[in-house]
Structure 1
Amino acid sequence: MKLAILPGLSLDEDELEITYILASGPGGQNVNKVATAAQLRFNAAGSPALSERIRVRVLELAGTRATRDGEIVITGRRFRSQQRNREDVIERLAELLREAAHRPAFRVATRPGRAARQRRLDGKAHRSGVKKNRKVRADD
């Protein structure tokens, strides 16, 4: 089954390896007995679905969640049920991939125009005049 991330980008669920581990936190005795926390492993370095640009960016954004081998590990233990934790880790991976696929706007550095420079200087001159008027004069 395909997992749709963005139009034109989808992952095969066979690429995701989800295991269940014991969780901490709320849940009472159930926490001690049932492995409800979900741990997702996704091999970003070897995924055929990702372009080279997205692959590099997702590993950069993953930070400590990425291993040296290019595998992303996401652990979800927010919820008490195994199914909700599974959905949570899949959605977090999808969000990470969406962020990696987003191209930041190319910004060209510009300099202030003549009118903007003049407004700045006029403001400085006005402020200087205000401060000069506050001084105590010797003739008073």
Structure 2
Amino acid sequence: MLTITRTIRIPDEELDFAYIRSSGPGGQNVNKVSSKAVLTWQFAQSAALTGAVRSRFETRYARRITREGCVVISSQKYREQSRNAEECRAKLKAMIEAIVAAPVERRVTEKTHGSHRRRLEEKRNRSAHKQGRRKLHPE
């Protein structure tokens, strides 16, 4: 059971792990051992997420979701299968924790006096700079 919050828990039955060979250097060990872990979670059919959390997850991580509605996470950071599997679970947990809290609506505020003054000063400086580019007409 992957526990994200008190209310969000993903059963282990929903998490499918596959183990394949890692890429990169490593000598004979990398050619013999399937240590890379690939986690597949069908979040579209999962009852663990509420509607609002599911929609935020879909919008934020749309690039990670397959056509079938699966999230695929992989890890080959470690040499052991179990540590890579735990890394995948930690990545999924971090992804869900990032979208659990609803985003705070920004309150519209007025421009500060200082920012208004700085903007006008910058406009004056830019105008003077451009005025200096004009040709001088001797009288």
SS in 1 for 2:67: coil
Query: How many residues align structurally?
Result: 136
In 1, the alpha carbon distance for the partners of 2:117 and 2:31 equals 70
Answer yes or no: is the 8 Å Cα contact 1:44–1:59 preserved in 2: no
Counterpart for residue 136 of structure 2 = none
Identity of aligned residues (%): 35
Over 3 Å off, 4+ runs: 113-125
SS in 1 for 2:79: coil
Kindly state the Cα deviation for residue 60 of structure 1 after the two structures are TM-superposed: 2.4
- Give the alignment of 1:112-131 within 5 angstroms: 112=111, 117=116
- Give the alignment of 1:1-140 within 5 angstroms: 2-112=1-111, 117=116
Kindly state the Cα deviation for residue 119 of structure 1 after the two structures are TM-superposed: 8.2
Say if 1:112 and 1:23 are closer, same or farther in 2 by CA, change over 3 A: same
Please say which of residues 6-15 and 58-67 is displaced more in the overlay.
58-67
Kindly state the Cα deviation for residue 26 of structure 1 after the two structures are TM-superposed: 3.7
Counterpart for residue 133 of structure 1 = none
Note the residue ranges of structure 2 that are not aligned, 5 or more in a row: 125-139
In 2, the alpha carbon distance for the partners of 1:116 and 1:71 equals 47
User: Aligned letter for 2:68?
Assistant: D
Counterpart for residue 129 of structure 1 = none
Answer yes or no: is the 8 Å Cα contact 1:59–1:70 preserved in 2: no
Kindly state the Cα deviation for residue 45 of structure 1 after the two structures are TM-superposed: 0.6
Please say which of residues 74-83 and 115-124 is displaced more in the overlay.
115-124
SS in 1 for 2:3: strand
TM-score by length of 2: 0.77
Kindly state the Cα deviation for residue 50 of structure 1 after the two structures are TM-superposed: 0.3
In 1, the alpha carbon distance for the partners of 2:110 and 2:30 equals 60
Kindly state the Cα deviation for residue 124 of structure 1 after the two structures are TM-superposed: 7.9
Say if 1:124 and 1:16 are closer, same or farther in 2 by CA, change over 3 A: same
CA deviations 1:7-62 (Å, max 9, x no partner) are 32111111100110111124321111111100000011110010111112222222
Say if 1:26 and 1:7 are closer, same or farther in 2 by CA, change over 3 A: farther
